Structure 1
Amino acid sequence: MTATTTAPGRPASAKPGRPLRIRRRMTPRRAGSIVLKTLVIGFLLAITVLPLIWLLLGSLKTQNEWLNSPSWALPENFLNFENYQVAWVDGDIGRYILNSALATFPSLALIVVLGVAAGFALEVLVWRGRGGVLLLFLAGIMVPGQMILLPLFSAYFQTHLTGTIWPLILTYTATGLPLTVFMMATYFRAVPREIFEAAAIDGASIYRSFLSIGFPMVRNAVFTVALVQFFFIWNDLLIALTFTSVGDFQTIQVGLLNFTGQFGQVQYGPTFAAICINVVGILVLYLFLNQRVMRGLTAGSVKG
C-alpha cells in the first residue's frame, strides 16, 4: 500500500497544477454592501436612462396625445415618425446643426492647437515668468462668461463682425482656452522630463520634441479635453443667443427655441423630435470616443 502525500496546507482532494480557489463566506455585512452597491448603480442608471426613454417616446406622440393624455402615457403609434419630418423640414433643424458645426469645429481646432502648445510651453520649457502666465490663465477660468458678453458685443458691432459666424468662433475660443491650458499643463507635468532631456541631447529641436514626443504622449488627454470643450460649445445657449438671436447663423440650441409659437404655444412632438436628433448625435460621438476619454482622464493622475 502506498501512502498519499500532499503539500502542506493543500487539501488531499485538490489536484496538483491547478490554483486553489478560496471561496469567501457571504457574511451579512458583505451581502448588505452588495445590495447597497446594486441599488446605487440601479438608481444612477434610472435617472440617466429613463429621461432618454421618455424623450424618445414623447417624440412619437401627436399634439392631441400630449394635450389630452398624461405626459408619462405611451404613444398610440410607435411608428409615428411624422414629428421628425416636421422638425427636419418645417423646423429646419438641418440648417441649425450645420451652423453649430461651423461654429464648433473651427473653435475646437483653435482651442486644441493653442491650448496644447501653451500647456507644453508652460510646463516643459523653462523660461522666466511662466508661473505668472499660468496664473493668468487660471484667473481666466474664474471670470464669469456673463460679464464679458456686453463688451464683446460692442467690440464686434464696431468691427462689423455682427451678423457673421466669427463672434461665436472668437468667443468660444477665448472662453475655452483657460481651462484647456490648465488641463494640458497638468497632463504634461506627468510626462517624465528625462525623455525631453534625452531628445535635446540627441539634437531634437523644441518643435520636434513637441510634435514627435510631447503630443503623442498626451494624445488621449487631448481627446478628453477636446470632447469636454465640444460639449460646452455645442450645448451653449447664452453666447449663441447673444450674438445670433437673429440672422442666418443660429445654432441648434437657439433653433430649438423657435419651436415655441405665439403666446408660448409649444409643438411638443416636433420639439421632442428635434431634441432627440441633437441628443442622439452627441451620444453616439461620446460612445465612440469613450475609451479614449477614460484613458485621458487618468493620464495625469500618476507621474511616471
Structure 2
Amino acid sequence: MALTTDRPITTAGLAAQRQPERNRNVGRTLRRLPGYAAVALLLVVVTYPLIWLFLGSFKTQDEFLNNPTTSLPDSFTNFANYSQAWSSVATYLQNSLLTVLPSLALIIAFGTAAGFALEVLVWKGRQTTLMLFLAGIMIPGQMILLPLFTVYFQLHLTGTLWPLIITYTATGLPLTVFMMATYFRAIPKSVFEAATMDGASIIRSFISIGFPMMRNSVLTIALVQFFFLWNDLLIALTFTTDDAQRTVQVGLLNFTGQFGVVEYGPTFAAICINVLLILAIYIFLNQRVMRGLAAGAVKG
C-alpha cells in the first residue's frame, strides 16, 4: 500500500498562506500613497478654480460685493450674466478666429514645407538654416514689439488685424519648423527615394507622401500653436487700438461696465465661455495629440 503524506488544508493554513500576499499588497499601497496624495492635491488645485469660476458666473453684482467669496450663488438660473457677456464676447471671439485661423494655416503650411526641406532634401547650408530657425525661438517677443509697431505704422497697417496675423505667423514658425523637422526625421528616406525613382517630383512627394504621413504630427503642432495664439495677450494688446478689433483675451481684460466699474458676473461668464470652448477642443482632440507627441519621440 502506498502511503500518502497529503494533509487537508485547514482554514488556519490558508490564512497563513495568504498573509504574505496581504502584506505585499499593503506595502505596495503604502508606497503608492504619496503618489495618490499628490494626484489628489493636483486635482483639487486644477478643478477648484474652475468650479469657483463657474459658480461665480451665476452671481449678481450685489452678491460679489456683499457675500463671502466662497458662498454659493442665490440662484443657478441667473443666465443674464451669460446673455450680457455673449453680446460682447461674440465680437471678441470673431476677431480671435479671424486672426488665429489664418495665422495657423500659414504656420502649418510654411512650417511643414520648411521641415520637409530641412530633413528630407539634401542641399548646402540646411544645418545653418535650421540653426537660424532655432535662434528665432530664443529671441524674446518683447524685444520685437516696438520695431514691429513702427513698421506697421509706416505701412499703414495699424487699425487692422493684419499686424496680428503677420506677427503670429512669424513668431510661430521657428518652433513649428523645429518640431516638423524632428517628425520628418522619423520617416525613412527610402520612402521618398522610391517616390523619386517612380517619377514623382519634390512637390508631389511632399503633398502626396510627406504631408499625409504627418497628419497626427501636424494636428499636434496645430493645437499647440492654436492654444498659444488664442491665449496671447501681449501681442494683441500692443497692436489692437480699437475696441472693435480686440481679441478675446484683450476683450476680457477690458470687460467693464458703465463708468469703468468691473461687472464681475458677466466677466466670470465671459471667462467661462472662453475656458469651456478651449477645454472642449482639447478633450475632443486629446487622443490625436497624444499620438502626435508619441510620433515625435524618436532619436535624431
Q: Normalising by the residue count of structure 1, what TM-score does the alignment of the two structures yield?
A: 0.88
Query: Would you say how many aligned residue pairs link Structure 1 and Structure 2?
Result: 280
Q: Tell me whether 293-302 or 174-183 shows the greater mean CA deviation.
A: 293-302
Please report how far the alpha carbon of residue 26 of structure 1 lies from its aligned counterpart in structure 2 after TM superposition.
4.9
Q: Are 1:139 and 2:135 matched, yes or no?
A: yes
Q: Are 1:195 and 2:194 matched, yes or no?
A: no
Please report how far the alpha carbon of residue 40 of structure 1 lies from its aligned counterpart in structure 2 after TM superposition.
2.0
- 1:111-150 equivalences under 5 Å are 111-150=107-146
Contact 1:260 1:266 in 2 (8 A): yes
C-alpha separation in 2, matches of 1:284 and 1:119:
30
Pairwise CA RMSD: 1.8
Please report how far the alpha carbon of residue 37 of structure 1 lies from its aligned counterpart in structure 2 after TM superposition.
2.5
Opposite residue 192 of structure 2, the aligned amino acid is F
Q: Tell me whether 26-35 or 148-157 shows the greater mean CA deviation.
A: 26-35
Equivalence for 2:211: 215
Cα deviation 1:15-35 (Å, max 9, x = unaligned): xxxxxxxx9655243112332
Equivalence for 1:36: 34
Seen in structure 2, the aligned counterparts of structure 1 residues 273 and 264 have a Cα distance that, compared at 3 Å, is same
C-alpha separation in 2, matches of 1:125 and 1:118:
10
Contact 2:82 2:269 in 1 (8 A): yes
Consecutive unaligned residues in structure 2, runs of 5 or more: 1-19
Contact 1:163 1:247 in 2 (8 A): no
Contact 2:159 2:241 in 1 (8 A): no
Equivalence for 1:85: 83
Q: Are 1:151 and 2:136 matched, yes or no?
A: no
Opposite residue 143 of structure 2, the aligned amino acid is M
Equivalence for 2:288: 292
C-alpha separation in 2, matches of 1:73 and 1:45:
21
Q: Tell me whether 79-88 or 178-187 shows the greater mean CA deviation.
A: 79-88
C-alpha separation in 1, matches of 2:27 and 2:191:
49
Seen in structure 2, the aligned counterparts of structure 1 residues 197 and 226 have a Cα distance that, compared at 3 Å, is same
Opposite residue 146 of structure 1, the aligned amino acid is Q
Seen in structure 2, the aligned counterparts of structure 1 residues 234 and 124 have a Cα distance that, compared at 3 Å, is same
Equivalence for 2:230: 234
- 1:43-122 equivalences under 5 Å are 43-89=41-87, 92-122=88-118
Please report how far the alpha carbon of residue 196 of structure 1 lies from its aligned counterpart in structure 2 after TM superposition.
1.4
Cα deviation 1:108-163 (Å, max 9, x = unaligned): 00000000000000011110000000000000000000000000000000000000
Seen in structure 2, the aligned counterparts of structure 1 residues 175 and 24 have a Cα distance that, compared at 3 Å, is farther
Instruction: Could you list the structure 1 runs, at least 4 aligned residues long, displaced by more than 3 angstroms after superposition.
Output: 23-26, 260-265
Q: Normalising by the residue count of structure 2, what TM-score does the alignment of the two structures yield?
A: 0.89
Equivalence for 2:15: none
C-alpha separation in 2, matches of 1:165 and 1:287:
29
Opposite residue 289 of structure 1, the aligned amino acid is L
Please report how far the alpha carbon of residue 107 of structure 1 lies from its aligned counterpart in structure 2 after TM superposition.
0.3
Point out the structure with the larger helix share: 2
Consecutive unaligned residues in structure 1, runs of 5 or more: 1-22
Contact 1:137 1:178 in 2 (8 A): yes
Equivalence for 2:166: 170
Seen in structure 2, the aligned counterparts of structure 1 residues 262 and 151 have a Cα distance that, compared at 3 Å, is farther
C-alpha separation in 1, matches of 2:129 and 2:176:
14
- 1:274-285 equivalences under 5 Å are 274-285=270-281
Percent pairwise identity: 67
